[in-house]
Amino acid sequence: MKTFSLNSVELLDYQPNRYPFLMIDHVSKVKPGVFAEGYKNLTSNEWFFPIHFPGNPNMPGALQLEALAQMLTVAITTLPGNKGKVTHAISHTVNFRKEVLPGQKFEIKTKVNSWNRGICKGFGQGFTDGEIACEATMIITIPEILKKFLPKK
Amino acid sequence: MKSANSKNKLKYNKVFVDSFSINEKQLKKDLKYNSITAWDSVGHMSMVALLEETFDIALEMDDIIDFSSYNMGIKILKKYKINI
């Protein structure tokens, strides 16, 4: 499949999260089922900076991870038939390397390791100033697809 | 020498043991879907994937749905000419 980009409006068709929980601004490159890359620009106006923390604003780790997971989601929801489908997290293992600060561009690279029967296993990294800020192995699912394959209880 | 069936049984059991981090004794009680924490929806898909890799088969969707227990799996695999 071809590689393409999604601007801040177009990506809404492939990512169901909305403000204040949409953690990606732009998808620079996505190859459906293979990878998705893009970024979130962080200004001082982000809702979480005043509260995390007063006097020492930095992006919460949980939201960094969320940004990675949202980008990985785009790599899956851009596959034929998956547009607009809701995804859920199943399991994430994350390491944080440095603080992510107001004024920085949070760049995200994610890769699909496997996509089968509604389950995506993948890997993602977040960067600021060219250095790794966080990285995670992730398992996400599209429940609507997964449920079709499960034994009846 | 071990028969093909007994080799298959060893491989079949190993799929369960590796997928769900259990011991073989737990299989004798006809382990069922959702009867242990590890055999949940994700565990089911991981087990099916490992089973397909181990026996070099591709399970049909209906068989994945019907694969609700250890013993049921043995019946299903017969369709794929794998006798256990």
Distance CA A50, CA A11 (A): 27
Average pLDDT (A104-132) is 97
Containing A88, the helix (H) or strand (E) segment is strand A88-96
Amino acid letter at B12? Answer: Y
Dihedral sign computed on CA atoms, order A15, A19, A21, A26: positive
The tens digit of pLDDT for each residue in A24-48 reads 999 999 999 999 999 999 999 999 9
Cβ contacts (< 8 Å) between B65 and chain A: which residues? 148-152
**Residue A152 to residue B68, Cβ atoms within 8 A:** yes
DSSP, residue by residue, A67-86? HHHHHHHHHHHTSTT-TT--
Give the model's pLDDT for residue B4: 79
> What is the percent of chain A where pLDDT is above 90?
97
- Within 10 angstroms of residue B80's Cβ, the number of other Cβ atoms is 16
Give the model's pLDDT for residue B1: 57
Closest chain B residue to A120, measured at CA? B42
pLDDT tier, A153 (very low <50, low <70, confident <90, very high otherwise):
low
Among all chains, which residue has been given the structure tokens 């080799």? Answer: B7
**Residue A90 to residue B42, Cβ atoms within 8 A:** yes
Task: Answer for the pair A19, A77: CB distance below 8 angstroms, yes or no.
Answer: no
Size of interface A-B (CB pairs under 8 A): 39
A146 and B CB contact within 8 Å: yes
How far apart, in Å, do the first and last CA atoms of chain B sit? 16
pLDDT mean for each 10 residues of chain B (84 residues)? 83 96 88 94 91 94 95 96 94
Specify the pTM.
Answer: 0.87
**Residue A117 to residue B41, Cβ atoms within 8 A:** no
Task: Answer for the pair A1, A32: CB distance below 8 angstroms, yes or no.
Answer: yes
ipTM here:
0.81
pLDDT tier, A3 (very low <50, low <70, confident <90, very high otherwise):
very high
